[in-house]
Structure 1
């Protein structure tokens, strides 16, 4: 293959990808064909598909424990008896895109961390065959996960390993969204945009407020590297998973919307509460997330335990105020300014423009008064139109 001809298809992700990934809830041994089809049905009936969560990604452990005699990957015969091509057809029949997981070394992450009893199911030495297999199965999205790919005598480097698969995908001729997952170790925002459509900027997320804050902090300074065609990825959503309160889950989603981050739900959508469903499909938050300008937001100031974020939109901008502390604080709209209870100015309000509380949808007049009592870990998004 002539590698000089490679150009990624940036049109596949004009806005941050949205969908669902199996790992956070089902991890390895609980992942089955029945689970996947149940999730696919729930994405439709819950309204999540129509809200934009259109890609269903089957993460690690879908594979059989060994390749077939021709070197091809196969699905696990007990947990995925119909095979991945047939499963992909079922996913497509529900109006969803089909995503799968591979790893560039000799092992996948489940082989390392979950004692998955497989051998040589990593893609090292099989890149073109694996990419062709995915294309044959109708795969639309690939998560390619580092998983110590440089071990076992592969000689792989971060950028080199992901470049190999980028060229292999291109050779198939199938449009496949390419998710690069190396956990931000080699500053992928500086090189991955030439190869992939999204790239992890952090280690794995956990369903705790501390984890959400740690990952959000690591996005500081990365906004310039993202935009239509390629996105910084601070990992999947933990919305709806035990460990975050409803309020923390709302702030988590608001932050990811401000960051123009991919929104890959990781909860069990078959059994989620109505509160979780309403949050994940909230029209105002998703409008911020999917704004066509594609400008990632950034933290602009800090006032003690309160962070202020701003994101430019195609028709204005949005300001996010997050109370990270353990005590309540007050945010006020007064005299054409948005300010904290300490009178610290946050944003000037355009005199003739529209001001909207994104969560409630309430329109606020720039010259009027309004206040929010922000509980600990609560975030407010205020949208401005000039």
Structure 2
């Protein structure tokens, strides 16, 4: 099979102009590039979460070089909370799993040259309460938005993941209003807290999230299998652009988890990079995982925003060509093979270009390659 697209410079530049979503950006000075880090959920879920897991994750980011590669946020997801609030209504951590408290944990993360994040919800219950039987009561932020924001700021929180979790069904809330309320409370604390909202793309937050949050989920949860990865990629083809301070989030990386093969991991990472997606891992990385997650040339594409996130330029059955402009007049191109057999794919380029394969780490003679099944070739085109 042959997937082809003409990538003349003028044509490509014109094809990659997407209108921004309506509304002003949040302008809190954060997330100038897509944030990167670790989140506890994909690695340990609810039952395995404790302060030692988080400390170990912070140590791993430092020891493996991931911190220096850009993975700076350490985010504690659902199930950190005690089963009820304190007598004064404030949130408190589970005393057995977080015996030293959240402020001490944040201090430790900060001492490692990292940033600390935490999880909350706008309604009355968290996702683990509804989906995993977590036996808590009243630990959602509904009616406590200002109190919780002040608590997070006092603890030294740098990142808030605010997860919808059926707040419309159980509490009758409206997404835009509820998310904006916590935005305002976070700003009142005076502490810079990167704000990540998650309502799974149901209300098309790419059309209104820019003035509310720094990043917003565009899909339901990604699972660690190829069908989920490709379905999420397909959904991104219809999503409007992000921009500095305001990013589309197709969910956390599943590299190192589930049934994904090394080829699938590289394709997954290539696509998140060309989409300018936030890069959050949830694994204790193996050497193979690190080789993927620390690829500096692919990370550089993710962190480079030159007017638009990546978009699909061509599709032919299971073969896609995605591209995005890069600073300095170049382009990133991903030849993606979603199919079950290898395929020869190419990008015909008008003009003179240096072509570099970002996984082989070398220049190649042309933008033509045999792409393995469930794989991708990622190229950087630089004016010759």
Q: Deviations over 1:319-349 (max 9, x none)?
A: 1111111111123xxxxxxx3xxxxxx3315
3-state SS, counterpart of residue 206 of structure 1: coil
> CA contact under 8 A between 1:14 and 1:294: conserved in structure 2?
no
Of residues 195, 201, 210 in structure 1, which corresponds to 2:227? 210
SS in structure 2 at match of 1:12: coil
2:104 is equivalent to residue 89 of structure 1: no
Shift of 1:293: 2.4
Shift in Å at residue 356 of structure 1? 0.7
Structure with the larger RCO, 1 or 2 (CA within 8 Å, 6+ apart): 2
State whether residues 141 and 148 of structure 2, in contact with CA within 8 Å, keep that contact through their aligned partners in structure 1: yes
Structure 1 runs, 4 residues or longer, greater than 4 Å off: none
For residues 203 and 120 of structure 1, the distance between their equivalents in structure 2, rounded to whole angstroms, comes to: 24
Offset, 1:11: 2.5
1:240·1:267 contact (CA, 8 Å) conserved in 2? yes
Distance of aligned partners of 1:10 and 1:313 in 2 relative to their CA distance in 1, 3 Å threshold: farther
- Over 3 Å counting, the alpha-carbon distance change for 1:239 and 1:7 in structure 2 is closer
Q: Secondary structure at the match of 2:227?
A: helix
Taking the aligned partners of 2:55 and 2:350, their CA distance within structure 1 comes to 48
Paired positions, count: 359
Match of 1:350 in 2: 351
Alignment of 1:78-157 (within 5 A): 78-152=96-170, 154-157=171-174
Deviates more, 1:133-142 or 1:215-224: 215-224
Distance 2:331 2:148 in 1: 43
User: Equivalent residue for 1:385?
Assistant: 382
Q: 2:205 aligns with which of 184, 188, 199?
A: 188
- 1:151 deviation in Å? 3.7
RMSD: 1.5
TM-score calculated relative to the size of structure 2: 0.91
Superimposed CA distance per residue, residues 139-183 of structure 1 (whole angstroms, 9 cap, x where no aligned partner): 00000000011244x331111110110111011011000001000
CA distance in 2, matches of 1:35, 1:62: 12
Distance 1:283 1:347 in 2: 26
1:273, CA displacement in angstroms? 1.6
Match of 1:329 among 343, 351, 366: 343
Question: Post-superposition shift, 1:371?
Answer: 5.1
Partner of 1:240: 256
Q: Is the 8 A contact 1:14 1:292 kept in 2?
A: no
Corresponding residue SS for 1:150: helix
Question: Mapping of 1:1-386 within 5 angstroms?
Answer: 8-152=26-170, 154-224=171-241, 226-268=242-284, 272-293=285-306, 295-315=308-328, 316-331=330-345, 339=346, 346-351=347-352, 353-365=353-365, 372-386=369-383
CA contact (8 A) 1:329 1:373 kept: yes
5+ residue gaps, structure 1, are 1-5, 332-338, 340-345
Q: Distance in 2 between matches of 1:78 and 1:294?
A: 48
Pick closer, same or farther for the CA change 1:347–1:10 going to 2, 3 Å: farther
Kindly tell me: are residues 237 and 251 of structure 1, through their superposed partners in 2, closer, same or farther at Cα, counting changes over 3 Å? same
Could you report, residue by residue, the CA deviation over 1:82-123 in whole angstroms, capped at 9, with x for unpaired residues?
000000000000011000000010000010011111000000
What is the distance in 2 between the residues matched to 1:355 and 1:213? 26
Q: Scaled by the length of structure 1, what TM-score is found?
A: 0.90
Does the CA contact (< 8 Å) of 1:260 and 1:294 recur in 2? Answer: no
Kept after mapping to 2: 8 A contact 1:8/1:170: no
Does structure 1 retain, via aligned residues, the 8 Å contact 2:26–2:245? no
Question: How has the CA–CA distance of structure 1 residues 7 and 185 changed in structure 2, closer, same or farther, with 3 Å as cutoff?
Answer: closer
Q: Deviations over 1:283-305 (max 9, x none)?
A: 11101111142620001111222
Deviation at 1:242, TM superposition (A): 2.3
The aligned counterpart of 1:336 is none
Cα deviation for residue 314 of structure 1 reads 0.7
Q: Which runs of 5+ in 2 are unaligned?
A: 1-23
Kept in 2, the 8 Å contact 1:237–1:265? The answer is: yes
Q: Residues of 2 paired with 1:92 and 1:218: CA distance?
A: 36
Distance in 1 (CA, whole Å) between partners of 2:161 and 2:185 is: 14
